[in-house]
Structure 1
Amino acid sequence: MIERRKLLGLGLGVLGAAAIGPMAALAQSRLGISDPISDLLQRQLDLSEDVADEGLPAAARAVAPAAAPVSQVRGAAHAPRWLKLHNIHTQEKLEAVYFDKGEYVPDAVQALDRVLRDYRTGDVYSMHPELFDTLSTLHQKTGSKAHFQVISGYRSPKTNAMLNQRSGQVAKRSLHMDGKAMDIYLEDVALDRLRAAALDLGRGGVGYYPVSNFVHVDVGPVRRWVGS
């Protein structure tokens, strides 16, 4: 049972659990039709996601050494890790202990993957667990009490190809397609402070989008960039 596996709450918002199937069908039918979220994603400079650290200008490279993974921090190897997500497209909310007693909790991880699915196609993908660890650590560092607001989690090849064709600024091989990237913000933490906390971790890529109001985090090469 999910309760026994420490899944704390999965809220389906105003649509309810029964609407998940129809929602996926609706999202599929809207693929290729302009909408505010697509327009926002068009403005992302996702091309930066695929650039190795050594390929970036010197000013864009991360200067701090990579921080030790959460599992290597003394006393953290078996400590529970929490994550609170809100998908702004589906209105689903999830609060879960996804790691406990030295291992990832399968039911909780599957529920997180579900919330982070491609909302346009309904495709669910296994997100990289280190991405969950990055967000969990960011939550602690910022002292936030809010859910991470998720603008983009997993992107299917179909969705990514559509966005790439529209804007020319979305990478053909985005890390979102590999379950290794998320675009997020916190309602109780200033965006620049969230970015600073992510950079301080020294893990993966950190993209800052002050106009569109989100921070991109991923578990690719350590690098940084600024978009619109």
Structure 2
Amino acid sequence: MFSRSRHHPAPQRRLFLKGLASLPLALPFASAQAGDMLHLSFRHTHTDERLSTAFRNRRGYIEPAIKRMNWLFRDFRTGEVAHMDPRLYDILHALSVSCGGETFEIISGYRSPKTNAMLRKTGGGVAKRSLHMDGKAIDIRLVGCDTARVRDAAIALGAGGVGYYPESDFVHIDTGPVRHWGPKSA
């Protein structure tokens, strides 16, 4: 007979816990009426490109919008485009709702391995295996909102990694393990 140790939770319990972990991101969608769309607005700080688009509705992600956002988040140094983890867009929307801001300034989205290696050589603070190279990380500001407030809201979401860089005035957001780094206050 098969028995489970207390150290290996049943699959149903794991699914339940995963569902609880996604709850903070689900909250912005809970009040949406059928047909409502979730919007995001961006300005890329290096290219000055702008995009305002509905990226999700009750049925899921809107693929043409996701493709446009992936293009905007490309490695602007090499032109390489990657499929960004769409959960990043959910996190950004939740931050926009929480902080009351509208336009995100993109400092860095996808980074090719070549760009990541170059940045590691020319400055500190760039991880060798950066989640930027997997399309799972972005560095942002939210226009009209202090970056410390964005950091606090992102940590409260508990949806992934949050790095705070007050000297450069940006917040790193990723869909990796829940963790945070940087000063606690500006």
Question: For 2:39, which of 58, 82, 85 is the aligned residue?
Answer: 82
Shift in alpha-carbon separation, 1:132–1:77, aligned structure 2, 3 A = farther
Question: 1:87, 1:77 → 2: CA distance?
Answer: 31
1:157 pairs with one of 113, 121, 130 = 113
Counterpart check, 1:109 vs 2:47: no
Amino acid at match of 1:70: L
Counterpart secondary structure, 1:68: helix
Give the count of matched residue pairs: 163
Of 53, 56, 73, which residue of structure 2 is paired with 1:99? 56
Residues 48-80 of structure 1, C-alpha deviations (whole Å, 9 max, x = no match): xxxxxxxxxxxxxxxxx9461534663459642
Q: Which segment drifts farther, 94-103 or 113-122?
A: 94-103
Letter in 2 for 1:100: N
Match of 1:141 in 2: 98
4+ aligned runs moved over 4 Å, structure 1: 76-79
Checking the alignment, whether the CA contact within 8 Å between 2:25 and 2:159 is kept in structure 1 is no
Structure scoring higher RCO (CA < 8 A, sep ≥ 6) equals: 1
Contact 1:183–1:216 at 8 Å: present in 2 too?
A: yes
Aligned position for 2:88: 131
1:190 aligns with 2:167: no
Task: Look up the equivalent residue of 1:202 and give its one-letter code.
Answer: G
- Matching residue of 2:16: none
Scaled by the length of structure 1, what TM-score is found? Answer: 0.66
Listed as ranges, the gaps of 5+ residues in structure 1 are 1-64
Please, what is the CA RMSD of the aligned residues?
Answer: 2.1
Q: Confirm or deny: 8 A CA contact 1:70 1:77 kept in the other structure.
A: no
Kindly indicate whether the alpha-carbon contact (under 8 Å) linking 1:184 and 1:214 is maintained by their aligned counterparts in 2. yes
Structure 2: where are the runs of 5+ without partners?
1-19
Counterpart of 2:12 in structure 1 is none
Partner residue, 1:120: 77
- Per the alignment, do residues 172 and 77 of structure 1 end up closer, same or farther by CA in structure 2, a change over 3 Å counting? farther
| 2:162–2:171 Cα contact (<8 Å) kept | yes
Instruction: Give 1:128's aligned amino acid.
Output: D
1:205 and 2:133 matched: no
